[in-house]
Amino acid sequence: MDDYSSKQVENLDDPPNSRLFVVTSRSISEDELRDTFSIFGDIQGVWVVKDKQTKEPKGISYVKFARSSQACLAMEEMHGKVISEGTKPIKVLIAQSRSSTRHRDVEDEELTRIFVTIPKSYTEEDLKETFKEYGDIEYCVILKNKATGESKGLGYVRYYKPSQASLAIENCDKTYRAILAEPRNKATANEDYPAGSSRNDYMGGAEQMNQYALPLPDPNNYQVIDYRSAEFTRSLMVSTRAGLTQEQLFALFDLIPGMEYCELQRDAYGIGKGHALIRYSNLGSAVYAKEKLNGFEYPPGNRLVVNFIEDGEDRSGSVGRMAMQFVAAQMMSAVWNGPSTSQVMKPSSFSAMPISRIQTDVNLPPPKKLAPPDSKAKERLFVVFSPATLPTDILEDVFCRFGSLIEVHLVSGRKVGYMKYADKQCADEAMSVLNGRMVNGVRMKVMLADPPREESHKRLRTY
C-alpha cells in the first residue's frame, strides 16, 4: 500500500465502496487481476501488495473501480471463484475506507440499505415502485410521526444485493438524496414496518434473546423508590464494553414492553461508541428496564451500565409527579400480579430459561467431544474476530459442535486464531455455518487457512 501515492488516483475512496480487497494465490499477477475484473466496469487501478524485503507478492491485492456499483457487482460475482487453474478460490471484499474500520462482504447490511428523502404523499408502494428498477427489493419503510401518523418525508429501501443499492444511489433522481443508511432499528409502532412483515424481521432474530433470563428479585424485598424524583425519565443511556450491535441492544431492551426508540451512538466514521440511547413510552417501563438491566451481563462477561438521562419533559408540577408515581406503580403491579401477553414478563418463564454462555445469531448443533490431541490435522480454519477475540473455552464450545475439533489456537496480540480439525468435512461444515456470524457480540470471518510452510530446518507448525 505504500506505493499508492505514486499511482494516478486522486482519492481511493471516491466514490465510497469502489475499491476491492482481494486475497489470491501469490502466483496471480496484476495483469491477470485486471483481465479478470475488467468485465465488471472501468478499472482505475490494480495494486499487488509485495513484501518490502523480498519483493515477492503477498497474495493480497486491491482493485479500484470508477463506480461503486461496479465494485459491488465484481465482489458478488467473483468471491469464491478460481482465477486460474491450480490456484485456490479468491476472496473478494469491499476494501476498508475512512468511513469503515473493516472490509465489507456480500452479506453486509450496510451495503444493501439506502436512506432517501421522499414526498410526504408517498406510500410504501410508491417508494417500492420508484426504486424497484434498480433491483429486487427486500422491504421499504417510511418514517412516520408517532403522534399523527403522518410521513416525515424520509424512508429506507433494503435491496438483496449491494450492487443494486449502489445502482439506486448512482442513478435515481438527485432529489431523493439517496445515501447508504446507517444500521438502526425501527420503533415498535406497526406503521414503521412494511405490510406483511413482523418486527422480528428487523431485529436480527429477537427471539434468540430468550436464552438470556432477566434476574427477578423477590417482590417482597423490592426496594422502595421515590418516583417523584426528577431523576427518573423515560430515556436511558446504555454503556457497554463489548461490541454489541444495535440489533442485539434492541432485542434485549424490547423484552420490556413499551420501547419507542433505540439508537446506537456512532462517531463521524460510523464506529460504535459503546453507548446507546433507549426511550420507552412510559416511565414504569423505563424504571423497570433500569432496575433489571443495569449490571446485567450481556453477553456473559460484559456488564451493561444503564442510567437515566434527561429527556426534557416537565415533571415539576404535582400532576406530573402523581402521573409518574401512578404509571410506575401500575408497571410494577403488572410485572408481579397482572396477566401479560409477553412471555418474558412472567416469572415462570424466567425460571425455565437459564442463561446460556453462548449467544449467537445461528442455530448450533449440540456440543461434541474434542478429537484426541495427537490426531492428525486434515484441515485448519483461519478465523478473524471483530471487534475483539473470544475466549478459548467459548471457541471450543462453538467449533466442537461440528465434530473432530482437535484444538483452538489464538495468535497472541492479534484478533485471529486457528481451528484444527481431524476431519475435513467437519471443518467445511463449521466454516459454512459460522462464517460471518455473531458469537457473544463478536463477528467471526471463518475461512480455510493456508497450509503450513514446510521448511526442513524448522519444525512444522502445531496449530
The whole-number pLDDT of residue 268 equals 54
Is 313 among the domain residues?
Answer: no
Q: Which residues make Cβ contacts (< 8 Å) with residue 133, sequence separation at least 6?
A: none
Q: Which of 380, 345, 242 is closest to 299 using CA atoms?
A: 242
Q: Which residue has the cell 523480498?
A: 54
Please spell the DSSP secondary structure of 268-281, one letter per residue. Answer: TTS-EEEEEEEEES
Give yes or no: residues 32 and 64 share one domain: yes
Q: What is the pTM of this model?
A: 0.42
The answer to which of 14-23, 76-85, 258-267 has the lowest mean pLDDT is 258-267
In 10 A of CB 245, how many CB atoms? 18
Measured distance CA(268)–CA(295) in Å, rounded: 29
Q: Which residues make Cβ contacts (< 8 Å) with residue 99, sequence separation at least 6?
A: 13, 16, 269, 270
Is 141 among the domain residues?
Answer: yes
Structure confidence at residue 10 as a pLDDT band (50, 70, 90):
low
In 10 A of CB 340, how many CB atoms? 12
Give yes or no: residues 161 and 132 share one domain: yes
Burial class (CB in 10 A: 0-12, 13-18, 19+), 291: middle
Is 338 among the domain residues?
Answer: no
Mean pLDDT of the chain, nearest integer:
75
Q: Which helix (H) or strand (E) holds 20?
A: strand 19-23
Give yes or no: residues 25 and 90 share one domain: yes
Segment 102-155, tens digit of pLDDT: 666 666 777 888 999 999 999 999 999 999 999 999 888 898 887 888 888 898
Give yes or no: residues 84 and 113 share one domain: no
Q: Which residues make Cβ contacts (< 8 Å) with residue 215, sequence separation at least 6?
A: 292, 296, 350
Measured distance CA(71)–CA(46) in Å, rounded: 12
Is the pLDDT reported for residue 429 higher than 60? Answer: yes
Structure confidence at residue 462 as a pLDDT band (50, 70, 90):
low
Helical residues (DSSP H) of 199-315, grouped into ranges:
200-203, 246-253, 283-293
Q: Which residues pair with 154 in a beta bridge?
A: 117
Q: How far is CA 45 from the centre of its chain?
A: 30
Cis peptide before 15 (omega within 30 of 0): yes
Give yes or no: residues 84 and 42 share one domain: yes
Measured distance CA(57)–CA(23) in Å, rounded: 11
Domain boundary among 308, 338, 353: 308
Is 212 among the domain residues?
Answer: no
Measured distance CA(179)–CA(5) in Å, rounded: 28
Segment 200-234, tens digit of pLDDT: 333 333 334 444 444 443 433 333 344 334 467 78
The answer to which of 163-167, 183-187, 246-250, 401-405 has the lowest mean pLDDT is 183-187
Measured distance CA(385)–CA(432) in Å, rounded: 16
The answer to which of 38-52, 213-227, 243-257 has the lowest mean pLDDT is 213-227
Quick one: what percent of the chain has pLDDT higher than 90? 28
Residue 418 and residue 383 in contact, taking contact as beta carbons nearer than 8 Å: yes
Give yes or no: residues 388 and 415 share one domain: yes
Is 52 among the domain residues?
Answer: yes
Q: Which residues make Cβ contacts (< 8 Å) with residue 322, sequence separation at least 6?
A: none
Give yes or no: residues 25 and 86 share one domain: yes
Cis peptide before 299 (omega within 30 of 0): yes
The answer to which of 67-76, 179-188, 419-428 has the lowest mean pLDDT is 179-188
Q: Which residues make Cβ contacts (< 8 Å) with residue 458, sequence separation at least 6?
A: none
Q: Which residues make Cβ contacts (< 8 Å) with residue 367, sequence separation at least 6?
A: 397, 400, 401
Is the pLDDT reported for residue 238 higher than 60? Answer: yes
Domain boundary among 62, 94, 126: 94
Domain boundary among 308, 335, 358: 308
Rg (CA), the chain: 25
Which amino acid would we find at residue 316? S
Is 202 among the domain residues?
Answer: no
Is 258 among the domain residues?
Answer: yes
DSSP designation for 89: P
Measured distance CA(15)–CA(100) in Å, rounded: 14
In 10 A of CB 290, how many CB atoms? 20
Is the pLDDT reported for residue 354 higher than 50? Answer: no
Backbone phi and psi for residue 394, each to the nearest 5 degrees, phi listed first: -65, -45
More confidently predicted of 169 and 97: 169
Helical residues (DSSP H) of 338-459, grouped into ranges:
347-351, 392-399, 424-434
User: Structural domain of residue 24, as residue ranges?
Assistant: 19-94
Residue 282 and residue 327 in contact, taking contact as beta carbons nearer than 8 Å: yes
More confidently predicted of 400 and 307: 400
Is the pLDDT reported for residue 72 higher than 60? Answer: yes
Give yes or no: residues 274 and 242 share one domain: yes
Give yes or no: residues 90 and 130 share one domain: no
Measured distance CA(352)–CA(245) in Å, rounded: 27
The whole-number pLDDT of residue 255 equals 84
Please spell the DSSP secondary structure of 158-172, one letter per residue. Answer: EESSHHHHHHHHHHS
* Count of positions (residues) in the chain: 463
The whole-number pLDDT of residue 192 equals 42
Cell numbers at 427, concatenated: 471443518
Is the pLDDT reported for residue 349 higher than 50? Answer: no
C-alpha to C-alpha distances, 221 to 151, 224, 285, 345, nearest whole angstrom: 46, 9, 19, 18
Structure confidence at residue 312 as a pLDDT band (50, 70, 90):
low
Is 318 among the domain residues?
Answer: no
C-alpha to C-alpha distances, 381 to 23, 443, 454, nearest whole angstrom: 16, 15, 18
* Domains identified in the chain, total number: 4
Cell numbers at 149, concatenated: 401518523
Q: What is the CATH number of the domain that holds 176?
A: 3.30.70.330
Cell numbers at 19, concatenated: 475499491
List the beta strands (DSSP E) in 29-167.
43-50, 57-65, 91-94, 113-117, 137-144, 151-159
Per DSSP bridges, beta strands 137-144 and 235-239 are unpaired
